[in-house]
Amino acid sequence: MNNGPSIWSRLADVASLVATPLAPSHYLALVSPLAATHALQARVVAVRDETADARTLTLRPGRGWRPHRAGQHVRVSLAIDGRIATRTYSISSSPDRRDGRIEITVKAVLGGRVSPVLAREVRPGAVLSLGQPEGALVGPVGGSRPALFVTAGSGITPIASMVRTFAARGAMPDVAHLHYAPTGPEVIFGDELRALAAAHPWYRLIIVHTRDDPRRVSADRLDELVPDWRTRETWACAPRGLLEAIAACFEREGRTSALHIERFGAAIVPVPASATGGRVRFEATGTATRADGRTPLLRVAEAAGVHAPHGCRMGICHTCDATLLSGCVRDLRTGDQIDEPGRRIQICVCAAAGDVDLAL
Amino acid sequence: MTHQLPVSIDDADIEQFGRELDAIQREVKASLGELDRRYILRMIEIQRTLALGGRVLIFASLPLLPAVPLFLGVIGLGTGALGISKILENMEIGHNVIHGQWDWMGDPQIHSSTWEWDNVCPAEQWKHSHNVVHHSWTNVIGRDRDVGYAILRVTEQQPWKPAYLAQPLYSAALAGLFEWGIAMHDLDLGALRRGKLTLADIRDRLAGIGRKAGKQVMKDYVLWPLLAGPCFLPVLLANAAANVMRNLWSFAIIFCGHFPDGAHVFTEAQIGGETRGRWYLRQVLGSCNISGGPLFHVMSGNLSHQIEHHLFPDLPSHRYPEVAPRVRALCARFGIPYNTGSFARQLGTTLRTIVRLALPTRTTRTRPLPA
C-alpha cells in the first residue's frame, strides 16, 4: 500500500489553492449547505412533539460529522433576529441509528431566547450550524457494574441515548433509572421508555411525579426507591438542586467516585439590575483584577498590565476585539448586555457587567 | 468659537450635531436584524456564484477558439463576471466585513476578526492602515497616509517638490495596480525613506504581504491558467483583465472619497483637543459622496456614501442610503457643507487636481472660510 498522500488529497490541495482566500467548500455550499466542510451544518428533517413544551428535532448532519457516543452533547447555532445564538443540547438518539441521523430534544424555557425558537418555530428543511459531539458523560459499558441513572426533566435526553443504544444492541446491563417529572404527560420519551422497561427485564424504570410526591432526594428516599443504590455506579443529569442532593448522598457514603454528573449548559453569571462591575479575568495572561461597570475593559486591561492590541479606542476599528469566554459585559454605547460565550467584543467600548473572563 | 475648523458653527452646535448623529447611529443599530443578515448572505452568494460562473465561462470559451468572435464574446462575458465578483468581494463585502459592519451578527463565518479578502493586501494589515490610521486621522496632513498615498500631492497644503511633476503618470500606474498600492500602504514606505523606520521594522509585514500576494498570484496567474493546458495565455489574460478591472474601479471610487473639489484637509493643530462632535464634523468636511442609482451604490461598496461611511464606519453599508438624507438634512440645518456630486464631477475634479498640483502651485497654510 502507498502511504503517501492520495491523489484525492492532492487534488483537494490544488482545489484549495485555486479557491484562495476561500476554500472549495465555500463554493460547494452554494449548491448544498450539507456538503460544506468549512462549517458543519445540519438539516432538520423532522420534528416531533414529545410533551406540551418539548420537541424532538431529527437532524441530518452534513459532511465531516463525527459519530457521537451515547451521552454526549452538541453545540447548535442558528440565527435569531439576524444574530447567531448557540446552545448545547444532549443528543437523545442512539449512535447506532442506521440512517446517520441524530436527534436533539429541546424543552422551551420560559423567557428563553433560543429554546422556544427550536421547540416551536423551526420547521423541517431548516439548516442549523452544528459543533462536533462533545462531553464525557459516557455511560456504563458492557459487563460493568450495575448502574443507576438519576434524571429530571430534559436531563433524560443523554440517558435516553444510552438506554436506546443498550436496547438496540441487545445488551441491556442491570440498570435502575430514576426519573423525576412534574406530572405523567410531562415525561419526555415516557411511552418509549416504559415500553423498553417492559421488554427488558434488566431495565427498571421508576418515575416520580413531583407534583404528587414533592419529597426531596435523600439517602432514605433512595433506599425506598432503589434499595441497592449503594452498589450501583451512578450517572445523574438534572437541574442543580437535584444534583446537589444526589451529590450529598454519595459524599456521605464516601462514594463520590461512583457518581458521574452532567450539568445542563454552562454556568451563567446573573446579570445585575444596576450597572455594577465584577472580577475580570484575562485568560491568556492569567491576570485577574476588579472593574466597575463603566470603565472600558481596554482600560481595565491596561491598568492591570495586560497587553491589549487596540486602535481607535472609540469603537470603530475593531482592532481591540477580544473573545468573551464567560460572564457578561455591557456595550457602553447601547447599554446592551452581551453574555454569549465565544462572542467577539469591542473591549474599548464594553465594560464589565458582573464577572468576566476574556481570552486576552 | 474656539475650534479652528473651516466652517462657521459654534461649539455648542457642533456638540448638538454630534449628539444627533449618535442618535441616528443608535437607531439604525437597534433596528438591525434578520433582513440585514439575509442581505449580506445573499450578497455573498451572488458574488461567489459570479466568481464561479465567470471562471467556468472563461474555460468554456476555450474550445470555441476557432470561431474568434464567439470566443471573444464568451471569454469577455466570463472576464466581466469575474471582474464584477472581485469588485463586489473587495468593496461591498470585504471592505465592509473587515470594518466590523457585520460583527453584530456574531457569525464566525462573517466576522472582521477572521475575514480574508480576494486582494493581495492581507486583511490584518488593511485593518491597521485603513480602519485605524485612515478612519481615525481622516484628512489630517502628516497623519492620514491616504492623503495622496505618500506619492501624490492632492492638496496645496502638501509642499511641492519636483517628484510630483510625474504624478499624473504615478496615478495612472496606481490605478491599474491599485491592489498592490493598497498592499504596500501599511508598510509606510515614506517613514522608511525618511529613516524613521528600518527594514527590520517592516520585515514581518513584508513577509505577510509576500505570503498573501504569493497565494493570489499563484491562483490567478499560475494555477488557473495551467488548468487550461495549451490555452494558458487566454486564461491568464482574462484573469489579469478581471483584476485590472477591479483595480481601476476601486481606484476611481476611492479617489472620489476625499480628493474632489471642496473636500477639506486639516492640520494637527486644527484638531487638537477634538471632541466627538468635532470628530464627526471633520469626517463630513473631509469626505465626498457620489450620486447614483442603487446598482451604482452596491458596486461602489456603498463608498458612494463616503460621508455616512466615515461617520458610521461599522454600520452595515446597505443602510447608508437610508441614513444619507437624514445626515444631509442635519448638515443643512447646521450650515455644514455636504459634498456630493455626479461620478463625472467627483472624478473629474480629482483628476484635475492631480494634474494641476503636479506643478508648483503656492502652498497655502490656511484656507478661506466658505462664503
Q: What is the DSSP string of B117-174?
A: -SSSS-HHHHIIIIIIIIHHSTTBTTT-TTSGGGT---STTSPP-GGGGGHHHHHHHH
Asked whether A113 and A85 are in contact (CB, 8 A), the reply is yes
pLDDT value for A265: 42
pLDDT value for A271: 42
The alpha-carbon gap from A84 to the nearest alpha carbon of chain B, in Å, equals 5
pLDDT value for A295: 87
- For the ranges A289-303, B258-272, B352-366, the lowest mean pLDDT is seen at B352-366
* Closest CA in chain B for residue A26: B48
The alpha-carbon gap from B73 to the nearest alpha carbon of chain A, in Å, equals 24
Distance CA A105, CA A129 (A): 16
Segment B121-133, tens digit of pLDDT: 999 999 999 999 9
Which chain A positions have a beta carbon within 8 Å of B126's beta carbon? none
Of residues A284 and B147, the one with the higher pLDDT is: B147
Residue B369, pLDDT > 90, answer no
- Asked if B216 has any chain A CB less than 8 Å from its own CB, the reply is yes
The pTM (predicted TM-score) of the whole model is 0.85
Q: What is the mean pLDDT of residues A177-205?
A: 95
- Asked if A81 has any chain B CB less than 8 Å from its own CB, the reply is yes
Distance CA A107, CA A97 (A): 23
Segment B30-65, tens digit of pLDDT: 999 999 999 999 999 999 999 999 999 999 999 998
Average pLDDT along chain A: 88
A316, B136: Cβ pair inside 8 Å?
A: yes
Residue found by looking up cell 485568560 in the block: A283
pLDDT value for A273: 56
Strand A322-331 vs strand A350-358: parallel, antiparallel, or unpaired?
antiparallel
Provide the terminal-to-terminal Cα distance of chain B, rounded to the nearest Å: 17
Segment A53-87, tens digit of pLDDT: 999 999 999 999 999 999 888 889 999 999 988 88
Supply the DSSP symbol for A117: I
Question: What is the CB neighbour count within 10 angstroms for residue A153?
Answer: 22
Q: How far is CA A113 from CA A78, A87, A222, in A?
A: 11, 10, 36
Residue B370, pLDDT > 50, answer no
Distance CA B141, CA B271 (A): 11
Segment A256-292, tens digit of pLDDT: 889 988 765 433 333 445 678 899 999 887 889 999 8
Q: How far is CA B356 from CA A303, B160, B353, B360, B361, in A?
A: 51, 11, 5, 9, 8
pLDDT value for A142: 59
pLDDT value for B193: 82
- Asked if A3 has any chain B CB less than 8 Å from its own CB, the reply is no
Asked whether B278 and B271 are in contact (CB, 8 A), the reply is yes
Among A14, A18, A337, the residue to mutate for chain B (most B Cβ within 10 A): A18
- The dihedral through the CA atoms of B198, B203, B209, B213 has a sign that is positive
Side-chain-side CA neighbours of A131 within 13 Å: the count stands at: 17
Q: Tell me phi and psi for residue A12, to 5 degrees.
A: -65, -35
User: How would residue B273 be classed by pLDDT, with cut points 50, 70 and 90?
Assistant: confident
Of residues B349 and A238, the one with the higher pLDDT is: B349
Residue B97, pLDDT > 90, answer yes
Distance CA A128, CA B30 (A): 25
Residue A302, pLDDT > 60, answer yes
- Asked if A113 has any chain B CB less than 8 Å from its own CB, the reply is no
Distance CA A184, CA A169 (A): 28
Q: What is the mean pLDDT of residues B88-97?
A: 98
Residues 6+ apart with CB under 8 A from B27: none
pLDDT value for B236: 98
Segment A90-119, tens digit of pLDDT: 999 999 999 999 999 999 988 888 899 999
pLDDT value for A225: 95
E strand or H helix at B49? helix B34-61
Of residues B147 and A275, the one with the higher pLDDT is: B147
Distance CA A19, CA A36 (A): 14
pLDDT value for B71: 97
pLDDT value for B36: 98
pLDDT value for A267: 32
Distance CA A216, CA A241 (A): 9
A79, B34: Cβ pair inside 8 Å?
A: yes
User: How would residue B185 be classed by pLDDT, with cut points 50, 70 and 90?
Assistant: confident
Residue A229, pLDDT > 90, answer yes
User: How would residue A240 be classed by pLDDT, with cut points 50, 70 and 90?
Assistant: confident
Asked whether A310 and A296 are in contact (CB, 8 A), the reply is no
What percentage of chain B reaches a pLDDT higher than 90? 82
User: Exposed e or buried b for every residue in B42-60, given b needs 16+ CB within 10 A?
Assistant: ebbebbbebbbbbbebbbe
Distance CA A24, CA A17 (A): 9
* Closest CA in chain B for residue A319: B127
Which chain B positions have a beta carbon within 8 Å of A348's beta carbon? none
Partner residue facing A30 (CB), from B32, B48, B314: B48
User: How would residue B359 be classed by pLDDT, with cut points 50, 70 and 90?
Assistant: very high
- Asked if A316 has any chain B CB less than 8 Å from its own CB, the reply is yes
Question: What is the CB neighbour count within 10 angstroms for residue B172?
Answer: 14
Average pLDDT along chain B: 93
